[in-house]
Amino acid sequence: MWRYVLKRVLLAIVTVFVVIAITFFAMHAIPGGPFDKEKASDPATIKALMERYDLNKPLGEQFVNYLGRMMHLDLGISMRNGREITKTISKSFAVSAKIGGYSIILSFVVGITLGVIAALRRNKLADRIIIFFTTLFQSVPGFVMATLLLLVFAQWLGWFRVYDPINPSFVLPVISLALYPIAYITRLTKSSMLDVLADDYIRTARAKGVAPVKVIAKHALRNAVLPIVTYLGPMVAYTLTGSMVVETVFTLPGLGLEFVQSIMNRDYTMIMGTTIFLAMLMVIMTLISDVIYKMVDPRITFE
Amino acid sequence: MAREKDKLPFIKNPLSLQVDLSKFTLASEEDKQSFDVMRAPSTFWRDGFINFKKNKMAVTSVIVLVLIILAIIILPKFLPYKYSETIRVNGQRDRTVTNLHPFTWSEKEQEFIDEGGKLFPHVMGTDQLGRDYFIRVMIGTRISLLVGFFASIIVLVIGLIYGSISGFLGGKVDLIMMRIVDIIYSLPDTLMIILLSFVLKETIGKQIQGTILAKLGTGMISMFLVFGLLYWVSMARLIRGQILSIKENEYVLAANSMGASTGRIIRKHILPNCISVIIISTALQIPSAIFTESFLSFLGLGVAVPMPSLGSLAADARQGLQTYPYKLLFPALIISLIVLSLNLIGDGLRDAFDPKLRK
């Protein structure tokens, strides 16, 4: 067990390091400094800027410095607005975490419920309807879905006050972020539930007269839900990238919007900082969900 | 006592090889018929094809996809408009031709028609620069499909080479090659794609200037590069796994002991057994590439203007959405149709060709 955890932690550390290295060297491979397109082409100003952003040293030294500052949770300052990147991230991530958290909870609850219904009513009408909609939601790009929801429910029907400056409604962003994971979890639950229902111990439980509800809730569902835990890692990754789309469509001041804008503005330091932060989050969540899976399912051996 | 024993039927020693002829009768015609070959021997491909044809959803998807492909090949040749050019009426520029609704005319076009001229209707209206939207959607579909197709070919080729080397050689080489795969696999792919597309878009522009590649545009080339750099790992893992498990089979051992060459074993035993898995995952790679392209277009990192893709058309349509919602709907509908039918075809192929699922 601990060997497995250690191995995974090591892989995670290597991955994070590779991400930082790729991000750093890729961003520095862009020809010309980030200030080339600025109007203030006064050599003295440029020199001052270069010194301020540590750009006049050799690349290797810059990388080591960057790593060193990262250890102190310092990602530098934005090249566009001069604000500290860690502060921007922590402020905007609060919004993203709220939407993302709600959407993850919503996807698990709805996805598992629908999956169980589809498995129990296999090949009946309910199953067909559920599978139809999950297939549909999996074939529409996220931003199209979000835009359509915005158009129909906020602008045409006016049910949600999306653009309210004081208290904007989070319902539509959360739903549009959750639709794809719901579809995925539904299908995962259905197939895993069908596998479990065919097992011998379910037949035994039924044969000895356990109430049908109890068979499903206690014997089947408990085992069927286990593989879904592994989806937590990829789902966090999906939610974080999805938040870029959703926050841009609904103009919410989250980390996703911040990242998209930094790409549009070519804010090099901000792109680097956000990429590294998001990547670390994704790697850590994948690590946690894999380790939890191994811990809760005693049937899995540790190599 | 002795007489009683004689009356009992003849009991043979169970280990005796002597045959009791009284237990056998001549075969009747009916019995002989049951040994007739009822069905012509079928090949792997024929079997799969027959199974595939039974799957109505998959067959419908093939038809839809073929229709779309035919439309994007044939229609643009007959349309009098170009995807990159503003519409001209009778050779003159027309300022009122922008943002037309489907099947409507601009003022100048109306005049031209009233005078007896003939024009092709704007089936999907025009865009904000006065270009025919229908032709843009057609060309966009073409680009999106090409991106998906080539991206999955790139993934297939790299994954196949890397995976089979790793699977065949085994040992330390395999171990090192798979650790590299592990690391690339655990990278957050979407984030890395955004980052690399951004960087490549900024860097390769100058280097490809003047070559054929410049025509493709930086956006598309950086996408192919990114797919070639990151997405092959799951394909490599899959192929390595397949080869490892097939290598262990008894028929490979048998072929080996009968003196078959390595080449023959690869051609006759290993390839036919993993080809279905390879085809299925390549087919399922196309929709994911189309999705990635549309996501990058949304971020402004997709194909370069004026070239349209379904993703960039849908992303551009977000401006003025209230007034022209159909501009989002047309490309979105086609993306969904393509992705849906490709997914259904992939599922159908898996059911039809995966021998492990066959009844």
> Using the beta-carbon criterion (under 8 Å), do A244 and B299 form an inter-chain contact?
yes
pLDDT digits (tens, 9 = 90+) for B239-252: 888 888 888 888 88
Question: What DSSP line would sit under B88-112, residue for residue?
Answer: EETTEE-GGGTTPPTT---HHHHHH
Distance CA A99, CA A246 (A): 10
Q: Does A54 score more than 50 pLDDT?
A: yes
Q: Does B16 score more than 80 pLDDT?
A: no
pLDDT of residue A303: 44
Residues B236 and B107 in one domain: no
Q: How many other CB atoms sit within 10 Å of the CB of residue B317?
A: 23
pLDDT of residue A213: 85
> Using the beta-carbon criterion (under 8 Å), do A282 and B191 form an inter-chain contact?
yes
Judged by a CB distance cut-off of 8 A, whether residue B335 touches chain A is yes
Residue B117: inside a domain: yes
Residue B197: inside a domain: yes
Residues B113 and B205 in one domain: no
Residues B144 and B241 in one domain: yes
pLDDT digits (tens, 9 = 90+) for B124-138: 777 777 787 888 888
What φ, ψ does residue B220 adopt, rounded to 5°? -70, -40
> Residue B107 sits in which domain range?
75-131
B186 neighbourhood in chain A, CB within 8 Å:
11-12, 15, 283, 286
Residues B120 and B179 in one domain: no
Residue B266: inside a domain: yes
CB B354 within 8 A of CB B280: yes
pLDDT of residue A114: 92
Q: How many domains does chain B have?
A: 2
Judged by a CB distance cut-off of 8 A, whether residue B194 touches chain A is yes
| CATH code at position A169 | 1.10.3720.10
Question: B167: closest CA among B285, B44, B282, B265?
Answer: B265
Alpha-carbon torsion angle B120, B121, B123, B124, nearest 10: 110
A155 vs B199, B314, B322: nearest CB: B322
Calculate the average pLDDT of chain A: 83
Residues B175 and B243 in one domain: yes
| CATH code at position B330 | 1.10.3720.10
Residues B104 and B208 in one domain: no
Q: Which of A24-28, A206-210, B143-147, B216-220 has the lowest mean pLDDT?
A: B216-220
Judged by a CB distance cut-off of 8 A, whether residue B339 touches chain A is yes
Residues B233 and B344 in one domain: yes
CB A187 within 8 A of CB A193: no
> Using the beta-carbon criterion (under 8 Å), do A151 and B325 form an inter-chain contact?
yes
Residues B150 and B189 in one domain: yes
pLDDT of residue A110: 94
Residues B113 and B139 in one domain: no
pLDDT of residue B298: 83
Residue B11: inside a domain: no
Q: Does B59 score more than 80 pLDDT?
A: yes
Judged by a CB distance cut-off of 8 A, whether residue B121 touches chain A is no
CB B168 within 8 A of CB B271: no
Judged by a CB distance cut-off of 8 A, whether residue A10 touches chain B is no
Q: Which residues, in sequence order, are CB contacts of B76 under 8 Å at separation 6+?
A: B83, B135, B138, B139, B142
Residue B31: inside a domain: no
pLDDT of residue B118: 73
Helix pair B44-54, B326-353: axis angle to 10 deg: 130
A141 neighbourhood in chain B, CB within 8 Å:
291, 294-295, 298, 311, 314, 332, 335
Q: How many domains does chain A have?
A: 1
- What's the ipTM? 0.80
Mean pLDDT of the A229-242 span: 85
Sign of the torsion formed by the C-alpha atoms of A56, A60, A62 and A65: negative
Residues B212 and B301 in one domain: yes
> Residue A249 sits in which domain range?
1-303
B199 vs A29, A140, A286: nearest CB: A29
Residue B49: inside a domain: no
A18 vs B183, B194, B318: nearest CB: B183
Alpha-carbon torsion angle A229, A230, A232, A235, nearest 10: -140
User: Residue A108 has which token pair?
Assistant: 């698990």
Residues B253 and B276 in one domain: yes
> Using the beta-carbon criterion (under 8 Å), do A142 and B295 form an inter-chain contact?
yes
Categorize the per-residue pLDDT at B1 as very low, low, confident or very high, splitting at 50, 70 and 90: very low
Residues B221 and B349 in one domain: yes
Question: What DSSP line would sit under A87-102, residue for residue?
Answer: HHHHHHHHHHHHHHHH
pLDDT of residue A105: 92
Question: B181: closest CA among B195, B194, B193, B165?
Answer: B165
pLDDT of residue B358: 45
Categorize the per-residue pLDDT at B13 as very low, low, confident or very high, splitting at 50, 70 and 90: low
A141 vs B190, B198, B311: nearest CB: B311
pLDDT digits (tens, 9 = 90+) for B86-141: 777 766 677 777 777 777 777 777 777 777 777 777 777 777 777 878 888 888 89
Categorize the per-residue pLDDT at B359 as very low, low, confident or very high, splitting at 50, 70 and 90: very low
Tokens 């835009």 appear where? Answer: A147
Q: Find the residue in B nearest to A234 (Cα).
A: B188
Categorize the per-residue pLDDT at B205 as very low, low, confident or very high, splitting at 50, 70 and 90: low
